[in-house]
Amino acid sequence: MRCLLLFPILPAAFLRAQAPPPNPPAYQPAPAEKQQIADRAAELGARLAQLRGKAASQLLADVEVYHKAASWLLRHPEEFYNKAYAGHALLVLDRGLARASALQAGSAPWTTRKGRVNLAYRSRVDGSVQPYAVVVPESYDGSRPVRLDVVLHGRGAMLSEISFLERGESAGTAPAYPDRIELHVFGRTNNAYRWSGETDVFEALADVKSRFRIDPARIVLRGFSMGGAGAWHIGLHHPDLWAAIEAGAGFTETRRYANVSNPPAWVAPTLHIYDAVDYARNAFNVPTVGYGGETDPQLRASLNIQEQLGRESGLEGIRALFLVGPNTGHRFHPDSKKESDAFLDRHAAAGLAEPGKIRFVTYTTRYNRCFRIVVDGLERHYERAQVDANARAITTSNVSRLTVLGEGTVELDGQTFPRGGSFEKKSGKWTTAGPLRGLRKKHGLQGPIDDAFSEPFLCVRPSSGPAPRLDRFAAEFAKWLRGDVRIVDDRSVTPAHIRDYHLVLFGDAATNRMIARVAPKLPIRWEKDTIRAGPRSFPASGHTLVLIYPNPLNPSKYVVLNTGHTFGEKEFRGTNALLYPRLGDWAILNSKGEPVAAGLFDDNWRLAPGD
């Protein structure tokens, strides 16, 4: 491991996240300007209506994203950040109209264009159209697989679909490398690539793979600032996907960076989900560059990882390069960038390959795979689980179920099995796993509440009575995560909805018939007059149950009660490090929306002792 001299401990105020500077007052477009944008958006909308059912859905998304960009600007007029946004909106709409005309004529010339090109996909999360950009070299002809660099942008205070699409195909942006394609992720704006922002990275990647001939062994992940935070957590959560990762600046933990002191007992464990420093050991499995400028407070992100690696054992041969830009603030020093690029190029050329040894840690079954090792269950969620694999000798800690892919003898914590497969631990001994009986926290079904909104979900409005928490969630999701949530009323839920979506139910058993169906099978009893959580009870009047749990009507999906994301506008406006869970797996809220009780279910989805 390439080492650097650690700098003196920086003052706490220097290390903490700085709130983003407020945007200047939004430009107030003249009524005629807004009308011109609205008229042109209506024209593009009409053209899209004519194309539906005729054009390929992927190509239609490439056009629709221009209409969405203008529509979102008109819905959120505070995003006219300056006068240029009005002109950019018209330019974006003209590009969309040109694409619509080409599609109507039976062509899609942008799909073979070189240089920087705007593309889009339709997200499974909410059905929204989300943009991304690619940079395609002149040499690309699809005759052979090529390297792909996935690039995560930093925080942009004035970032929107309009600014992203306007810049995406403007002259002089992002010159193409001759030997690779670049994917520039939108990430649903500014969220440090968490939750549906994280999903966006993988959905955009899948869409690029469907359009271009990408070499899966030569995919590099890069990011700087907020993008560096994203590269750290996505790279270390998924160390078997990347030929190399480069993380510049950003942040890798929450408490110090976001000045979070004494979080509640149901919050503190969930900080392990996105605190990349906790997954530092996984850098053993993927060539890694960590960078920070010498005078940049965000140098601490890279130092955190390096210091944690120094506390780990068994990492001989790690492929990690830590660089500090001399006398440099929040940017890449040119000499450091050259050294980083050379490292990335070398490992991308060698290609992704499973290492002879695997060193893997996780705190949640959401992030559970590293090459041939799949962690199917933990003994205790949000505590460190570790798997070390040397050839066929494997040691584990805090793992209850494990899959080992491949053939040949497996030695698991000193026990020998004739071949790989799935194993479960019973009374401290491993045995070949049988069918999973009962509810267990497992990959994609482990909580907390916020986890439901990284995958397809459907909100269910009560057919009687208001649902202000749903209204607030829908408005905040549209503003900050750039999509309209799917909503039906409780009388319109179909078997297909139950099969395909996490259901997010609002109201109570009297106002929402779906809550009435699932409530008797939940571990917290919600009765007409009382909410009972273990030995504790609260008057139903003036209190609300919020919860995530395997849906009793389809245990392969979640049911969520009475909440969207457990953070909101205040956190979105602050540092991205604040986008962590606030209510665990369940909470009982008073009339002010404050938790009077909350907790995390155990690994069998039961109330934990003491709850």
Domain range holding 458? 449-599
In-domain check, residue 495: yes
**Residue 11 scores a pLDDT above 80:** no
pLDDT at position 20 is: 63
| Alpha helix (H) residue ranges in 4-76 | 12-15, 31-51, 57-75
Mean pLDDT of 139-150: 97
- Regarding whether 426 and 344 lie in a shared domain, the answer is no
Out of 406, 432, 458, a domain closes at: 432
pLDDT at position 415 is: 98
In tens, the pLDDT along 460-498 reads 999 998 999 999 999 999 999 999 999 999 999 999 999
**450: which DSSP letter?**
G
148 close to 243: Cβ distance less than 8 angstroms? no
Q: How far apart are CA 356 and CA 371, in angstroms?
A: 11
Mean pLDDT of 295-302: 98
In tens, the pLDDT along 97-112 reads 999 999 999 999 999 9
pLDDT at position 217 is: 98
**Residue 200 scores a pLDDT above 60:** yes
How many percent of the chain have pLDDT more than 70? 95
Whichever domain contains 466, its CATH number is: 3.30.379
- Regarding whether 580 and 467 lie in a shared domain, the answer is yes
- Regarding whether 469 and 578 lie in a shared domain, the answer is yes
**Residue 560 scores a pLDDT above 70:** yes
In-domain check, residue 159: yes
Structure-block tokens of residue 238: 């998924």
Mean pLDDT of 337-362: 97
- Regarding whether 418 and 453 lie in a shared domain, the answer is no
pLDDT at position 17 is: 52
- Structure confidence at residue 14 as a pLDDT band (50, 70, 90): very low
In-domain check, residue 65: no
Pairing, β 487-489 against β 457-461:
parallel
- Regarding whether 459 and 415 lie in a shared domain, the answer is no
pLDDT at position 25 is: 74
- Regarding whether 327 and 191 lie in a shared domain, the answer is yes
Out of 313, 332, 350, a domain closes at: 350
The three-class DSSP label of residue 437 is coil
pLDDT at position 453 is: 98
- Structure confidence at residue 176 as a pLDDT band (50, 70, 90): confident
Q: How far apart are CA 478 and CA 467, in angstroms?
A: 17
pLDDT at position 522 is: 98
Mean pLDDT of 205-210: 98
In-domain check, residue 101: no
Q: Which residues contact 392 (CB under 8 A, 6 or more apart)?
A: 408, 409, 410, 411
- Regarding whether 509 and 471 lie in a shared domain, the answer is yes
For residue 358, list its beta bridge partners. Answer: 389
In tens, the pLDDT along 412-467 reads 999 999 999 999 999 999 999 999 889 999 999 999 999 999 999 999 999 998 99
**Residue 564 scores a pLDDT above 60:** yes
Q: How far apart are CA 373 and CA 359, in angstroms?
A: 10
Mean pLDDT of 523-534: 96
Chain mean position to CA 493: 28
Whichever domain contains 131, its CATH number is: 3.40.50.1820
**Residue 280 scores a pLDDT above 90:** yes
The three-class DSSP label of residue 4 is coil
Q: Report the 10 Å Cβ neighbour count for 609.
A: 7
H or E element at residue 558: strand 554-561
pLDDT at position 203 is: 99
Out of 301, 328, 350, a domain closes at: 350
- Regarding whether 465 and 406 lie in a shared domain, the answer is no
In-domain check, residue 49: no
- Regarding whether 303 and 364 lie in a shared domain, the answer is no
pLDDT at position 170 is: 79
In tens, the pLDDT along 312-322 reads 999 999 999 99
In-domain check, residue 512: yes
With vertex at residue 278, the alpha carbon angle to CA 572 and CA 321, rounded to the nearest 5 degrees, is 100
- Structure confidence at residue 23 as a pLDDT band (50, 70, 90): low
**Residue 559 scores a pLDDT above 70:** yes
- Regarding whether 455 and 427 lie in a shared domain, the answer is no
pLDDT at position 249 is: 98
What are the phi and psi torsion angles at 254 (to 5°)? -105, -45
pLDDT at position 168 is: 84
- Regarding whether 541 and 481 lie in a shared domain, the answer is yes
**Residue 143 scores a pLDDT above 80:** yes
pLDDT at position 392 is: 80
154 close to 190: Cβ distance less than 8 angstroms? no
In-domain check, residue 363: yes
Q: For the chain, give the mean pLDDT.
A: 94
**Residue 169 scores a pLDDT above 90:** no
In tens, the pLDDT along 492-527 reads 999 999 999 999 999 999 999 999 999 999 999 999
- Regarding whether 534 and 386 lie in a shared domain, the answer is no
pLDDT at position 15 is: 40
The DSSP line for 580-611 is: S-SSBTEEEE-TTS-EEEEE---TTSSPPTT-
What are the phi and psi torsion angles at 550 (to 5°)? -60, 130
**Total number of domains in the chain:** 3
The three-class DSSP label of residue 212 is coil
306 close to 299: Cβ distance less than 8 angstroms? no
pLDDT at position 259 is: 96
Burial class (CB within 10 angstroms; exposed 0-12, middle 13-18, buried 19+) of 172: exposed
**Residue 407 scores a pLDDT above 90:** no
In-domain check, residue 424: yes
454 close to 195: Cβ distance less than 8 angstroms? yes
Mean pLDDT of 524-539: 96
CA distances from residue 357 to 348, 389, 392, 486 in whole angstroms, order as listed: 20, 6, 9, 44
- Structure confidence at residue 21 as a pLDDT band (50, 70, 90): low
**Residue 31 scores a pLDDT above 60:** yes
**2: which DSSP letter?**
B
Q: Which residues contact 577 (CB under 8 A, 6 or more apart)?
A: 17, 192, 229, 251, 254, 257, 258
